[in-house]
Amino acid sequence: MGGVFLLFIAGILKLAHLVHSIFRSGNIDIADPEVIMARLRAEDLTLLWAMATLFVLLWVYSVVDAYVGGRRIDEMEEGNVAP
């Protein structure tokens, strides 16, 4: 779960850096979301998508591993499987 946390924090930092770079690049009227979206679409989001994909994959693996581990413990308590 530590990896999920680190990817989550890294994603937040990358997104904050992306938003900061959009607003730093020039005068933007905050009341005009079309200009903001146009600049956001012009940015390279490959790293952000890769981090989001890794986050989801690692999270799914963690959930499945916890489920399998829990079932194994339940089966050992019932005496069905030797440790």
Q: Is 11 inside any structural domain?
A: yes
Model confidence pTM above 0.85: no
83 three-state secondary structure: coil
Q: Is 71 inside any structural domain?
A: yes
Q: Is 73 inside any structural domain?
A: yes
Q: Count the domains in the chain.
A: 1
Q: Is 47 inside any structural domain?
A: yes
Q: Is 83 inside any structural domain?
A: no
- Check pLDDT > 70 for residue 79: yes
The DSSP 8-state label assigned to residue 45 in this structure reads -
Task: Domain of residue 70: give its range.
Answer: 2-78
HSE of 16 in the Cβ direction (CA atoms, 13 Å)?
6
pLDDT digits (tens, 9 = 90+) for 25-76: 777 777 888 888 888 888 888 888 898 899 889 889 989 999 999 999 888 8
Q: Is 49 inside any structural domain?
A: yes
CA distance 34 to 39: 9
Positive/negative CA dihedral, 17, 22, 23, 29? negative
Q: Is 45 inside any structural domain?
A: yes
